[in-house]
A and B are shown apart, each in its own frame.
Chain A
Amino acid sequence: MSEILNKDFLIKITNVEKVYKMGNGTFKAIENVNLSIAKGEYVAIVGPSGAGKSTLMNIIGCLDNVSSGEYFLDGEDTSCSDNKLAEIRNKKIGFIFQNYNLLAKLSILDNVTLPLLYLGYTNKVAIEKAKTQLEKVGLGSHIKHKPTELSGGQMQRVAIARALVTKPQIILADEPTGALDSKSGDEVLKMLEQLNNEGNTIVIITHDRDIATHAKRMITVRDGHITSDEINNKEVRL
């Protein structure tokens, strides 16, 4: 840990708590969470279902506000308006979901173009950038296809292209291999690893410790708390 303490932190979470209203009472999904992630890290957040990792992901992904505590992303306070959060998601975060969440009626090119349009690019520039990105993930020849015409692995590569196209600060992957067979899953993990080697910060959320071992740092969440935070020993991975 010591070698990264001095770096500028990209994600700085201090004493964060998230409380949900459940009927008459309240439910603390996470509490007393402190977490710092530096630029260029590859972090896995791991834990059983219901441990609070999804809540943590929603907060890191600026999909939700904290109930108390602080979250600074890239030096920016995230306790702000809905509108501002949408802007942060657009510019700084690239999402990769378990079930891809591609828009089924749009071609994969249009899917990858969309975040750029929300950023305010002209059609021409956006399409050019999206094409380049799709070529990078090896789908340059499929750009007119609809997502449903592709395999799961291909769809997840489209999602990765969509996440990368805005050049975000963090790639946030929620169970990215959950819906894939092991071969396509390995491909996706290899791609994430390569992206990390190129300097991208990656946070992957999973319940599967085997997948978590692909990351360089593993944070374990249990019952709403961070129970361990360790550097992965590459040898363990085989």
Chain B
Amino acid sequence: MRISQLFKIALYSVWSNKIRSFLTMLGIIIGISSVIILVGMGKGTQKEISDQISSLGTNLITVSLTKTATIDAGDLKELKAKPGIKAISPQITSSNVNVKAGSKSSTTTIEASNANYAEIKSYTVNSGRFITNRDVENRYNVLVIGTETANNIFGTANVVGETMYVSGIQFKIVGVLKSAGTSTTGSSDDKIILPLSTAQRLLKTSTISTYYVEAESQAKIDTAMSYLKMFLNKKYALRNLATSTTTDTYYRVLSQTSLLTTATSTTKSMSNMLSGVGAISLLVGGIGIMNIMLVSVIERTKEIGTRKAIGAKRKTILAQFLIEASIISGFGGLLGVFFGYAGAYIGKTFFATSIVISSNIVISAFAFSVLVGLVFGIYPASKASKLNPIEALRFQ
């Protein structure tokens, strides 16, 4: 018997039991579509995070101090003179700060730094100007405002020269930031930027635990990082050969590249985990196929007996049932791919979830679904092929 004829017979048998075949497929459909959506979501998050990190500039080095240390203006000057280092910005942040203008108030986040900050963080001022070093030196009560915060309390982004209150203290708005859109970490436009010294007085703090350092170029990042570490080791009186586990308890120096690697590996393990969940549902779907095929073999005992009586060989019956199982799972896989795409589309359009579907995952998910049918079809098919024709014909 020819394979194409077997296919026709198997297809016919699947088709003549439409509802049951569809219900059997459901497990595979759900499995495949969830694999596609989940892996797509994992990939999407990965892409979003890496885009976000690289948008911050690849020359950026972040220094976070775990144990506080005083790094004064002289230190900063000394560091800036080191090879590879272009600019340094200390940063303090404070969230849930009350801001008010006229009768409207809101809460927002303060970022405070110096004049280099705009360049380091790739901030652009839409109107007005950014914080200057003069503002920092003189502790002027000026601020640069994000468009969303401006809209929240003024109802417009055209607010340069206006006066507003931050924690009850009067400030003058000198600039408005260009909108940067929203990201996974929330809106990038809901913030105000203050001169470092002004913010220190306002927040009553002198501790600075984050410094942004811009390297002269991407190639100079390693040089800059080693100078920074040398400086910090000296500051904390650590020996230069101290291991990273030791230094980690005092400070961390991270480049965007290392951040990217960490973030990528985190999201990668997340997407592996998600595909694992999908694989389990595929396994369950496969068991469902086996279950139904076994029932079907019993139900069709007489058919099998008749086929054998008129000359079907064992391998012909085996092939017929195997093909049936793989048609169910393969077709389920196709529908799963379809629903996966549909789900991804819905997620993107209505929930702004970032989902990236690669053709690799679609092809391997489909191939896997056919494989599931073959593997879980073997037992029922071999059972069918081994039926004794006499007993099968007598079966009622």
Binding site for B on A (CB under 8 A): 58, 61, 63-64, 82-83, 86-87, 89-91, 95, 97, 101-103, 105-106, 114-115, 117-120, 122-123, 162, 166
Residues 210-241 of chain B: 1 if any A CB is under 8 Å from the residue's CB, otherwise 0? 00000000000000000000000000000000
- Residues from chain A with Cβ under 8 Å of B313 in the complex: 82-83, 86-87, 118
Interface pair B310/A90, CB less than 8 Å apart: yes
B312 within 8 A of A: yes
Q: Can you name 7 A-B residue pairings with CB atoms under 8 Å? A: A63-B309, A63-B393, A86-B314, A101-B393, A103-B307, A118-B310, A162-B310
B12 touches A (CB below 8 Å): yes
**Which residues of chain B (99-146) have a CB below 8 Å from chain A?**
none
Judging by beta carbons under 8 Å apart, are A105 and B310 in contact?
no
**Chain B contacts of A82 at CB under 8 A?**
313-314
Cβ contact of A86, chosen from B311, B390, B393, cutoff 8 A: B311
Does B306 contact A101, Cβ atoms closer than 8 Å? yes
Q: Quick one: given A64-B390, A97-B393, are A105 and B311 in contact (CB under 8 Å)?
A: no
* B-chain residues with CB within 8 Å of residue A119 when the two chains form the complex: 311
> B residues touching A (Cβ–Cβ < 8 Å)?
1-2, 5, 12-13, 16, 302-303, 305-316, 389-390, 393
Q: How far does the Cβ of A238 sit from chain B's closest Cβ, in whole Å?
A: 34
Tell me which residues across on chain A come within 8 A of B302, comparing CB atoms.
Answer: 101
State A123–B8 Cα separation when bound (angstroms).
Answer: 11
Contacts of B390 in A (CB 8 A): 58, 63-64
Query: Is B16's CB under 8 angstroms from A115's CB?
Result: no
Closest CB of chain A to B303's CB: distance in Å?
6
When C-beta atoms are compared, the residue in chain B nearest to A126 turns out to be B5
Given contacts A90-B312, A97-B309, 8 further A-B pairs with CB under 8 A are A58-B390, A63-B389, A83-B315, A87-B311, A101-B393, A105-B13, A117-B2, A118-B312
**Are A120 and B309 in contact, with the CB atoms below 8 A?**
no
Point out the residues of chain A lying under 8 angstroms from B306, CB to CB. Answer: 101-103
Query: Are A61 and B309 in touch, CB under 8 angstroms?
Result: yes
B364 to chain A, nearest CB (A): 34
Once the chains are docked, how many angstroms separate the CA of A90 from the CA of B303?
16
Nearest neighbor of B312 in chain A, beta-carbon distance: A118
B324 to chain A, nearest CB (A): 13
Main secondary structure of the interface of B (DSSP, over half): helix
Evaluate contact between A86 and B312: CB separation under 8 angstroms: yes
Q: How far is the CB of B323 from chain A (nearest CB, A)?
A: 14
Interface centre among B308, B309, B316, B393 (most CB of A within 10 A): B309
Complexed CA–CA distance, A117 and B306 (Å)? 14
Report the separation of the CA atoms of residues A105 and B314 in the bound assembly, to the nearest whole angstrom: 21
Chain A contacts for B310, CB-based, 8 A:
89-90, 95, 114-115, 118, 162
Decide if A118 touches B316 in the complex (CB within 8 Å).
yes
Say yes or no: B309 contacts A106, CB within 8 Å.
no
Q: Which residue of B lies closest to A90 (CB)?
A: B311
B16 to chain A minimum Cβ distance, whole angstroms, is 5
- Cβ contact within 8 Å between A117 and B13: no
The answer, among B1, B303, B393, for a CB contact under 8 Å with A118, is: B1
- A163 CB → nearest B CB, Å: 8
Query: How many angstroms between the C-alpha atoms of A103 and B16 in the bound complex?
Result: 12
Could you say which residues of chain B place their CB within 8 Å of the CB of A83? 313-315
Cα distance A97–B307 when bound, in Å?
13
Q: Report whether B5 and A123 are in contact in the complex, using a CB–CB cutoff of 8 Å.
A: yes
Residues of B within 8 A of A166 (CB): 311
Docked Cα-Cα span, A162 to B306, in Å, equals 11
Q: Measured between alpha carbons, how far is A123 from B302 in the docked complex, in Å?
A: 24
Nearest A residue to B17 by beta-carbon distance? A105
Residues of B within 8 A of A114 (CB): 307, 310
Closest chain A residue to B4 by CB distance?
A: A123
Chain A residue with minimal CB distance to B396?
A99
By a CB distance below 8 angstroms, the chain A residues around B305 are 101
Residues of A within 8 A of B315 (CB): 83
Q: How far is the CB of A30 from chain B (nearest CB, A)?
A: 14
In the complex, which residues of chain A have a beta carbon less than 8 angstroms from the beta carbon of B5? 117, 123
Report how far A97 CA is from B390 CA in the complex, Å: 12
- The distance from the CB of A146 to the nearest CB of chain B, in whole angstroms, is 10
3 smallest CB-CB distances across A and B, nearest first, come from A90-B311, A118-B311, A86-B313
| Minimum C-beta distance from B351 to chain A (A) | 45
A63 to B309, CA, bound (A): 7
CA distance A140 to B303 in the complex (A): 24
Q: How far does the Cβ of B309 sit from chain A's closest Cβ, in whole Å?
A: 5
Measured CA separation A119–B306 after assembly (Å):
15
A91-B311 in contact (CB<8A)? yes
> Closest Cβ of chain B: how far from A201's Cβ, in Å?
18
Q: Which residues of B contact A95 (CB under 8 A)?
A: 309-310
Asked if residues B311 and A89 are in contact (CB atoms below 8 Å), the reply is yes
Bound CA span A21–B306, Å: 24
CA of A123 to CA of B310 in the docked complex: distance in angstroms?
Answer: 17
CB neighbours of B314 from chain A (8 A): 82-83, 86
CA distance A6 to B364 in the complex (A): 68
